[in-house]
């Protein structure tokens, strides 16, 4: 099972490397962009970047670290119930809680996920991690892994994670 997962991780990692090749022509850390710049270059995280700016988290994610970000795509945000995103953008504190629920302190690469069943987020709650059939964080599928940034790593997910109430 672990070899099957590692093959999937390697394939997803290769896809991630190809996807960000335009942003990072060399994989040395000195030349990598920060998480916010890397997400902006990818072009599929515009809503996430807008939300991070509205919640006053963009500078933190650009400068500090290292972080592991489970980054929902624009399509993931679009799948939220009508009006949810607008309401969150109008409530920076609630938005910050949700965004911080997508961030883990430290750099956790995909190869390390096989040893995890959960991870504590910067919001304070834990997310469940299940690598038995692909990789899931709570009920979101990890669709791309190990997009390296100068201050951490991005793993792309297909849903917005909502912290427990």
The count of domains in the chain is 1
Asked if the structure places residue 162 within a domain, the reply is no
How many angstroms separate the Cα of 31 from the Cα of each of 1, 26, 63, 74, 108?
35, 7, 15, 26, 20
Asked if the structure places residue 91 within a domain, the reply is yes
Range of the domain at 127: 2-24+31-157
Give me the mean pLDDT over the 9-34 stretch: 46
Give me the mean pLDDT over the 108-117 stretch: 90
Q: Which residues lie below 8 Å from residue 144, measured CB to CB, with a gap of 6+? A: 12, 15, 16, 19, 155, 156
Asked if the structure places residue 165 within a domain, the reply is no
Q: How many C-beta atoms lie closer than 10 Å to residue 52's C-beta? A: 25
Mean pLDDT for the chain overall: 85
64: pLDDT confidence band, cut at 50, 70 and 90? confident
How many angstroms separate the Cα of 20 from the Cα of each of 15, 64, 84, 148?
9, 21, 30, 9
Q: How far apart are CA 45 and CA 50, in angstroms?
A: 9
- For residue 45, the domain's CATH number is 2.30.180.10
61: pLDDT confidence band, cut at 50, 70 and 90? very high
Output the pLDDT for position 30: 54
Output the pLDDT for position 4: 34
């Amino acid at each position: 099972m672990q070899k099957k997962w590692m093959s999937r991780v390697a394939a997803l990692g290769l896809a991630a490397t190809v996807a960000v090749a335009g942003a990072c022509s060399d994989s040395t850390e000195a030349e990598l962009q920060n998480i916010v710049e890397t997400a902006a270059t990818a072009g599929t995280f515009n809503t996430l970047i807008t939300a991070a700016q509205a919640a006053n988290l963009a500078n933190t994610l650009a400068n500090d670290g290292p972080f592991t970000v489970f980054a929902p795509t624009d399509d993931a945000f679009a799948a939220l119930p009508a009006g949810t995103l607008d309401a969150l953008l109008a409530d920076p504190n609630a938005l910050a809680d949700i965004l911080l629920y997508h961030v883990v302190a430290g750099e956790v690469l995909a190869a390390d996920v096989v040893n995890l069943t959960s991870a504590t987020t910067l919001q304070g709650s834990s997310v469940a991690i299940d690598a038995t059939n692909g990789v899931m964080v709570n009920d979101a599928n990890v669709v791309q892994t190990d997009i390296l940034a100068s201050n951490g790593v991005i793993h792309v997910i297909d849903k917005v994670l909502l912290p427990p109430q």
